[in-house]
Amino acid sequence: MDALVTPSGTDSQFEELMAQSPIPVDAVLECVRNAAQVPETAKKADEWTKKLVQKFVADGDFENLYKVVRECSLASLFPVEARSIGDLLRKNCKDRTLKAMLEAANFGGYEVLGKDVPRSTKGALAVELKESFRRFDTLREFQASDQVIDNAWGFGVVKRVDAFYKRIIIDFRGRPNHALAFSTACNTLRRASKLHFWSILYNEPQNIANLVQNEPEKVVRLVLRSFGQMPIQRIEDRLVSSGVIKKDEWKKFWERARMKLKEDKRIKIPTRRTDPIVIFAKEESFDDDYFARLKKKRIPAEILAAVGELTENDKLKSLTDEQREILKERLQFVLKGAERVDMPLYARVAVIMQRLGFQEPPIDQLRQTLWQDNICLKAAYKLSVRDTDGLTQLLLSGGEEAEKKLIEALSYSDEPATDTEPPHYALCCAMFYDVLNALKDKEECQEACFTLLNKPKAPAALVGWMFKNRKGLLWKKQVPFIRLIDHAMALVEMNASGETLQVQNQLKLILGDSKWWKESIEELKPTERRLLFERIQSSAQLDSPFQRKLLSNMLELAPELKRYKKAAGQREKVQSRMTSLHSMAEKQASFRRLVEIEIPKNRLAIQEAKEKGDLSENAEYQYAKEKERELLQRQSELNEEIKRVKETDFANMPTDHVGQGVTVVLALPDGQEQTYTILGEWDYDERLKIISCNTRMAKAVENAKVGDSVKIPSPEGETSATIRAILPLSDEIREWIHTLPQE
């Protein structure tokens, strides 16, 4: 039998280890931990820890001091407050860089959503000691030439670590020399694995190019392995934005990859583009064990995924009564939890239950819930084409009363409550097509559409629907064709996502078709052709091949437009994308709020929902995850916008013609005058009459000179105006440009 370790024996062992040079720190710490586990020597462990700390402080040995303090603190063997631990480490650290990193680790500090706050602030959260150690350990890893990934900026290479300004300088893709503060980097930055997509693309670009050509399915697998499960749309965005494939090559690439991926039964490719591709550990079989597992599922996304799997594999028709009962009970479970918590989810489940013929709860009850406070319209914005088609059928099965409500909804135009919901969100979804197709012959429907198309910004889905159906419509009131084209061009130029992106792609196919131009060019007046032609060739948002195609189609059918054609160099000069210092700062502030406040806040909501187990809180988790996808999409879009647009103060802009950076005075036929200042893409201020260069008004007067007659937008459609003066920017406008918003 082994001899028991006595207090004196353990003490002798500790002293023997401490007498060695250098001190075997790992062995000493093991000795301390062993002593702490025995009641008779527990006090000795505390005493030895203090001796170790004193020894390394006296020797000026920071590395061993940090190791001892870290190990003993986390094991509760060093009963000292976190703030005192931070003070101890900073006091004995001679390296300026490490000292700055210790400050960023915020030992004993408080914060709210990533922002440091005073100790007295109500609602502030204390930074856990374990978290402070993690932050410091993370920061000290980064060195020049390291390949890293940031949550907001993506892949980059560390250029240098700046101890003076407490930041890490990184060359990100598309944003070189970007500075990340230590306090931000320790939470958002991580070293990139050699097997990560970004690392392979950076180190072995030809390898990725070969896979794209020969084994596209491996590229998709690599993306999923690197970034986690994601929808098809986000995979496309990832590959196109990284330059791996071109936008017009995606469709062929995906078809080849999809064929190979479908051969693997462990991979689930969803029917909804918004649902993620799932990779299973093994091939799924739909037997009683499958339904036994389904019966235990409590997360709505997993239950609906099971419905999708059964549908895709054509198993719904062959279910036993017992299996069908399990499926119904699980859907009722989700329906109850989603009510008033996640109405898009509620609408999806209601459609599924109607499609499967489940009568509990009754369809009338589902419909009544969906109509309360126009919930169905708000929910529709977040649904797929298939689900909105089913939702429309479910609502219209309510008879004339439902038709009346849907027509009223077409005129819904209140501004959204949040940034994630666009104006007319009830109409910016696939449901709009179904409503119009069902109700287009009703006069009330025609009046609602006419009103919306006369607004400065018409719903994307309405514009797309009109382009596809206008030839067959015998409506009494229709907007001028040029206005419809204006709406279409605005949509084609914008940075779109979701359903709006689908409409944008449809419009590009129509506008890029030479046959369509032959059928449509005669509907435009000569002045309308000229304004449209000049707008297209001066647009900075259109990609070059599509822009050339549009110009070529118009020149072929209207040769007189050649006189307005500009040289390539002139077009490039016009096409530089700019915005003011003021608006760029606002956009960057929005990005920081998104990354530092909204996304962390949502992640906290996800964590809280995970810790709860009942039905309603599982629904909260599903809602928070959906919100996360929206926020990450918004982050990607904002990031791309900021990279593509340049900031400027519009100093010394020419005033011989109307363009960006000037104030234009217009004389109207009734003797009145209108004054506008045209700045960059994101600029707008109603009080100062500042408008964006992308507005219809700015496009109508672009390149005009003093004395020129122009057609400008008006409530009645268009009106004539004369350019009375073109002025440099006033002091008030310049002050606005240089006034940066306070965060």
The model's pLDDT over 82-127, given as tens digits with 9 standing for 90+, comes to: 889 989 999 999 999 999 999 988 888 876 544 554 444 444 567 7
The model's pLDDT over 231-245, given as tens digits with 9 standing for 90+, comes to: 888 888 888 888 889
The answer to whether 241 and 223 are in contact (CB under 8 A) is no
SS3 283: coil
Which pLDDT score is estimated for 573? 43
Q: Looking up tokens 């982050």, which residue turns up? A: 635
- Write the DSSP assignment of 585-597 as a string of letters: HHHHHHHHHIIII
- Give the confidence band of 572 by pLDDT, cuts at 50, 70, 90: very low
Share of the chain above pLDDT 90, in %: 12
Whose CA is closest to 102, among 154, 138, 56? 138
CATH code of the domain made up of 662-738: 3.10.50.30
- Write the DSSP assignment of 184-206 as a string of letters: HHHHHEEEPPTTSHHHHHHH-HH
The model's pLDDT over 337-394, given as tens digits with 9 standing for 90+, comes to: 777 777 778 887 888 887 777 878 887 888 778 777 777 777 776 676 677 777 878 8
The end-to-end CA distance of the chain, in Å, is 70
Residue type, 194: K
Which residues have a Cβ under 8 Å from the Cβ of 6 and sit 6 or more positions away?
none
Domain at 580-648, CATH class: mainly alpha
pLDDT at 446 over 80: no
Mean pLDDT of 240-267: 84
Q: How many CB atoms lie within 10 A of CB 530?
A: 18
Largest CA distance in the chain: 111
pLDDT at 743 over 60: no
Which pLDDT score is estimated for 1? 35
Mean pLDDT of 437-460: 76
The Cα–Cα gap between 341 and 330 comes to 17
Which pLDDT score is estimated for 148? 92
Mean pLDDT of 617-621: 57
Ranking 106-120, 245-259, 305-319 by mean pLDDT, the lowest is 106-120
Highest mean pLDDT among 202-206, 312-316, 461-465, 713-717: 202-206
Q: Do domains 580-648 and 662-738 have the same CATH topology?
A: no
- Write the DSSP assignment of 603-656 as a string of letters: HHHHHHHHT--SHHHHHHHHHHHHHHHHHHHHHHHHHHHHHH-EEE--TT---S
**φ, ψ at 215 (rounded to 5°):** -140, 70
Whose CA is closest to 152, among 607, 597, 610, 647? 597
The answer to whether 487 and 454 are in contact (CB under 8 A) is no
**φ, ψ at 4 (rounded to 5°):** -70, 145
Rg (Cα) of the chain, in Å, rounded? 32
Which pLDDT score is estimated for 687? 86
Mean pLDDT of the chain: 80
Which pLDDT score is estimated for 539? 75
Whose CA is closest to 23, among 58, 57, 52? 52
The answer to whether 679 and 660 are in contact (CB under 8 A) is yes
- Give the confidence band of 137 by pLDDT, cuts at 50, 70, 90: very high
Q: What are the residues facing 111 on neighbouring strands?
A: 116, 125
Which pLDDT score is estimated for 621? 64
Ranking 26-30, 295-299, 374-378 by mean pLDDT, the lowest is 374-378
Which residues have a Cβ under 8 Å from the Cβ of 691 and sit 6 or more positions away?
676, 677, 678, 679, 683, 684, 697, 698
The Cα–Cα gap between 236 and 560 comes to 41
Which pLDDT score is estimated for 161? 92
The Cα–Cα gap between 108 and 102 comes to 11
- Give the confidence band of 413 by pLDDT, cuts at 50, 70, 90: very low
The answer to whether 433 and 465 are in contact (CB under 8 A) is yes
**DSSP letter (8 states) at residue 174:** T
Model-level pTM greater than 0.85?
Answer: no
The model's pLDDT over 470-483, given as tens digits with 9 standing for 90+, comes to: 777 778 777 888 88
Burial track 170-205 (b if 16+ CB lie within 10 A, e otherwise): bebbbeeebebebbbbbbbbebbeeebbbbbbbeee
Beta-strand relationship, 189-191 and 147-150:
antiparallel
pLDDT at 568 over 60: no
SS3 346: helix
The answer to whether 713 and 697 are in contact (CB under 8 A) is yes
Residue 467, Cβ density class (10 Å: 0-12 exposed, 13-18 middle, ≥19 buried):
buried
pLDDT at 445 over 50: yes
The Cα–Cα gap between 704 and 116 comes to 52
The model's pLDDT over 62-79, given as tens digits with 9 standing for 90+, comes to: 999 999 999 888 888 777
The Cα–Cα gap between 665 and 688 comes to 13
The model's pLDDT over 278-288, given as tens digits with 9 standing for 90+, comes to: 776 555 566 77
Whose CA is closest to 531, among 284, 333, 702? 702
pLDDT at 518 over 80: yes
- Give the confidence band of 463 by pLDDT, cuts at 50, 70, 90: confident
The model's pLDDT over 152-209, given as tens digits with 9 standing for 90+, comes to: 788 899 999 988 888 999 998 878 888 888 988 988 899 998 889 999 999 998 999 9
Which pLDDT score is estimated for 639? 81
Per-domain residue ranges for the chain? 7-138, 197-279, 580-648, 662-738
For residue 22, whether the previous peptide bond is cis, meaning omega lies within 30 degrees of 0, is: yes
The answer to whether 430 and 384 are in contact (CB under 8 A) is yes
Which pLDDT score is estimated for 612? 62
Q: What share of the chain is helix, strand, coil (3-state, %, to 5)?
A: 60, 10, 30
**φ, ψ at 162 (rounded to 5°):** -100, 100
pLDDT at 629 over 80: no
Tokens of 99: 């000292």
**The residue count for the chain:** 743
**φ, ψ at 307 (rounded to 5°):** -60, -40
Q: How many CB atoms lie within 10 A of CB 691?
A: 19
Tokens of 209: 């190019």
**φ, ψ at 297 (rounded to 5°):** -70, 140
Tokens of 488: 């279409």
